[in-house]
Amino acid sequence: MKKIIKYVLLDLLRNRIIIAFTVFLAVISFSVFNLEDNPSKGILSLLNLVLIIVPLVSIVFSTIYVYNAAEFIELLVSQPLRRVNIWLSIFTGLASSMCVAFLVGCGLPVLIYAPTDVGLMMTAMGLLLTIVFVSIALLASVLTRDKAKGIGVAILLWFYFTLIFDGIVLFLLFQFMDYPMEKPMVVFSCLNPVDLARILILLKLDISALMGATSAIFSNFFGNQWGMAATVLIMIAWAFTPLWWSVRKFNRKDL
Amino acid sequence: MIIATNVTKRFSKLTVLDNVSATCNKGQTISLIGPNGSGKTTFIKCLLGMVVPDSGFITFNQQNIAHNWLYRSNIGYMPQIGRYPENMTIAQVLDMMKDIRKHSAGPLDEELIQLFKLDGMMNKRMGTLSGGTRQKVSASLAFLFNPDVLILDEPTAGLDPLSTEILKDKIRKEKQQGKLVLITSHILSDLDDIVTEVIYMEEGKLRFHKSLTQLQEDTGENKLSRAIAHVMAAAK
Amino acid sequence: MLISLVVFTITAHAKTWIVRPATPLQKLQEAINNAMPGDTIIVEHGVYREPTIVVNKPLYIKGVGCPVLDGQKKNEIMVIKSSHVVIEGFSVQHSGYSGYNDIAAIRIVNSRNVTIRNNKLDDTFFGIYSQHAVSCTIANNELRSNAINEVTSANGIHCWKSDSMQIMNNTITGHRDGIYFEFVTHSTIKNNVSTGNVRYGLHFMFSNDDAYVGNQFRNNGAGVAVMFSKGVTMVQNIFFENWGSAAYGILLKEISDSRIQHNRFVRNTTGIYMEGTNRINVTQNVFYNNGWALKIQASCNDNTITQNNFQANSFDVATNGTLVLNTFNSNYWDKYEGYDLNHDGVGDVPYRPVSVYAMIAERNPVTMMLFRSFIASLLDKAEKTIPGFIPENLKDDQPRMKAFK
């Protein structure tokens, strides 16, 4: 398995898109911090990068990569190798190289300019979101045979997680305004990894506001250490459930 | 050596393999023949475990190949269209395959690499190669590990006549060492002189599996291509 | 100064009594009873368990080596019924507790020019309680209690119907309200630290023409409440980490003609909450990292908010109405995205400090969970292009480009 990871990584390293993504992140991060005299404002600008752009690039790039690697995968499958290992190697290669790209492009500037709780939390969430969306991408690409369709599904999923889902939740919150919506809201949040990541960052960034706007249920769930750990665990589940499902699908896939 | 029993495969509504059973033994050189879309490649992929049959099973040396992967170390496979990671050079692809297969049983067979003169362009990237050159790489890879079984999907397509001859010589040589060679090809004349058995497939069904001599007897034709043409005409 | 001069001149001719355990004079009350007005009583190190000590003549009572006055959780510890009394250097602890009486550690009744200083109060119900007191000084005391809820606890420094009080350099923690003022006028609360009290750090009602300066209010259950008063000066205070759905840096209710200047509001759920306030000047304050820097209810008129720094707040301003009769001018807003073509330091387009999402969160607090999501920023952007939801005239026409130093 190590060897396959090695070759996937070598292939990805030669792929200029990863390098371009790293440079893109670095340029944005450094310029944000240099233009803003206040690092906490820089963090705010990077928040959208972490919550929107990173998932988008992770899911789209990974989907395209898997489709483009179809022949490579075919070649590997015809060799005396376990399919699970091939698939997990591709995942590991993709996730780790995307994580490195994020860490260098975004994490590094954050740690240099704003090594605060918020900065650390944001870097951690960026990494987790990267892994989650690589995993979702693998599922999307194993479920659809057609490349164009697969990329479409990937973009749709991204759109769903970053915008549509929250839109629906907002709509529901106003529809059922007269009912206690705090518990359902906690459940809603767990259904979307982007929301979870955002809330964990909010806990560091806007704790003053959150402590006022939401009552005991919220602070009991997200506010304490156990809730925090639970949230991170749910995020990890978000990373590995699609992966596990895609492994099952890939095991039976006809190439 | 390879026994397929009642293998059936459907892609959505289309039945690609319909209850196919076949036995392939050591020392045979089997030509898998049939019109386009008759299920030849799918059958080969089933043997390689790349396509999972809906029903039926395949054994390799008496072992069911489902959920097994180690048996593939005994197979050299040359795909119909060999495409490789575009950014890798020929040398890197060869190294990678050597690395992945952890070949230990005996020396590597690099004869084809030399005969195809691939060593001169080891540093070329796969993405820049012509279709023919890629076929040469595919062929070299299939033979590289001295496998007991060679599965060659349309091996001569895209190869120039000279290279075709080199490949045929190589196949002949391996056959003499008692290996099982499975070839699909639609250019029948290429195969005439090396084939010992013929499997004819049509619309996912295995129409017949005969030795070449048997086929020649049955049809009264000497040349394989003519014999097949005879069969096809008779079917209509 | 004048008071101490008076005290000094009196003590110059006075006798000094020494109270010490295991000596004939081992009770403070006995010493007080024996002393003449103007005498000095020195109380030496030890624990004194006496019934309520009543000081009924002008005396200078000083603890040396921090003697302990213990109320044994039964009674009020000391009542001062005379003017010109100085109490200094005691450790006062374990007062009684009552559900219906205001039991205090030290009570000042109907007196003038009383000074309570350098004392440590521990585990008391009310700490220092003044009623009908005038020109008294409460300074450098440490008040500590262990209040758990509002019902079973009482206030640290409690002033009722008093005038010209000086409350300075005290530290108050673990009470219901740190400092409580009701019907107190012309008084100053200065350089106190009020933290970790279950209700308000400072609670202020019907008290006109007072000033509080340089105090720190941190981590109190509901911050600071200033209600039903006028002519209040609030300067150079720090309001820090007052968290909760009803917690405020300052809660202003029915306040008029007052001044809030040079204060720092840091990490509060709401920096300033204004309800029914008139003619208040909020100037040169810093609002940093609050949930809402400023909540102005529609019932507020003619308030002026100018030259403040608004930085790193989740929301700068929120309001519940559409008609705004207050003036925002020349503030620095870190969320301002305008430009300054003529480089005069003033942005060329007005800044609207109320965001759509602030309005949404105001109506439906659970939506805070979607704060900073893509959809939330889309809503804000949409409002900027097609305004209609936020009050038209709530804007700063001269937003500063750079923060005030």
Range of the domain at A160: 2-251
Q: Contact partners of C by the rule of 3+ C-beta pairs under 8 A?
A: A
Domain count, chain A: 1
Question: Regarding beta strands B55-60 and B63-64, do their DSSP bridges make them parallel or antiparallel, or are they unpaired?
Answer: antiparallel
Encode chain A in three state secondary structure: CHHHHHHHHHHHHHCHHHHHHHHHHHHHHHHHHHHCCCHHHHHHHHHHHHHHHHHHHHHHHHHHHHHHCHHHHHHHHCCCCCHHHHHHHHHHHHHHHHHHHHHHHHHHHHHHHCCCHHHHHHHHHHHHHHHHHHHHHHHHHHHCCCHHHHHHHHHHHHHHHHHHHHHHHHHHHHHCCCCCCHHHHHHHHHCCHHHHHHHHHHHHHCHHHHHHHCCHHHHHHHHCHHHHHHHHHHHHHHHHHHHHHHHHHHHCCCC
Asked if residue B117 belongs to a domain, the reply is: no
Is chain B in touch with chain C: ≥3 Cβ pairs within 8 A? no
Grade residue B127 by pLDDT with cuts at 50, 70 and 90: confident
Clarify whether residues C241 and C135 are in a common domain: no
Which of C169, C187, C213 represents a domain boundary (last residue)? C213
**What pLDDT does residue A214 have?**
61
CATH (domain of B210)? 3.40.50.300
A-B contacts at Cβ under 8 angstroms? 64
User: Is A79–B45 a contact, with Cβ atoms under 8 angstroms apart?
Assistant: no
Asked if residue B201 belongs to a domain, the reply is: yes
Clarify whether residues C181 and C262 are in a common domain: no
What ipTM was predicted for this assembly? Answer: 0.86
pLDDT at B97 over 90: no
Q: Which residue of C has its CA nearest to A164?
A: C375
Asked if residue B211 belongs to a domain, the reply is: yes
Q: Is B45 on the interface with A (CB under 8 A)?
A: yes
Of A158, A28, A41, A38, the C-alpha closest to A106 is: A28
User: Is B88–A69 a contact, with Cβ atoms under 8 angstroms apart?
Assistant: no
**Residue segments in chain C with a per-residue pLDDT below the cut of 70:** 1-13, 387
Clarify whether residues C178 and C103 are in a common domain: yes
Which of A208, A218, A231 best tests the C interface by mutation, with the highest count of C CBs <10 A? A208
Asked if residue B98 belongs to a domain, the reply is: no
Domain count, chain B: 1
pTM confidence score: 0.84
Which of C213, C231, C265 represents a domain boundary (last residue)? C213
Which of A3, A4, A6, A7 best tests the B interface by mutation, with the highest count of B CBs <10 A? A7
Domain count, chain C: 2
From the centroid of its chain, how far is CA A183? 25
Closest in B50, B84, B92 to A254, CB measured: B50
Asked if residue C369 belongs to a domain, the reply is: no
Grade residue A228 by pLDDT with cuts at 50, 70 and 90: confident
Which of C165, C184, C213 represents a domain boundary (last residue)? C213
Range of the domain at C338: 222-354+390-405
Write the pLDDT tens digit of every residue in C230-288. 999 999 999 998 888 788 999 999 999 999 999 999 999 999 999 999 999 999 999 99
Write the pLDDT tens digit of every residue in A109-149. 999 988 888 899 999 999 999 999 999 999 999 999 889 99
Encode B124-192 in three state secondary structure: CEHHHCCHHHHHHHHHHHHHHCCCCEEEEECCCCCCCHHHHHHHHHHHHHHHHCCCEEEEECCCHHHCC
pLDDT mean over B140-165 = 88
Asked if residue C377 belongs to a domain, the reply is: no
Write the pLDDT tens digit of every residue in A179-205. 888 888 888 989 999 999 998 888 888
Q: Is B40 on the interface with A (CB under 8 A)?
A: no
Clarify whether residues C68 and C194 are in a common domain: yes
Asked if residue C80 belongs to a domain, the reply is: yes
How many Cα atoms occupy the beta-carbon half-sphere of C171 within 13 Å? 7
Clarify whether residues C107 and C227 are in a common domain: no
Residues of A numbered 3-62 whose beta carbons fall under 8 angstroms of chain B's beta carbons: which are they? 3-4, 7, 10-11, 14-15
CATH (domain of C100)? 2.160.20.10
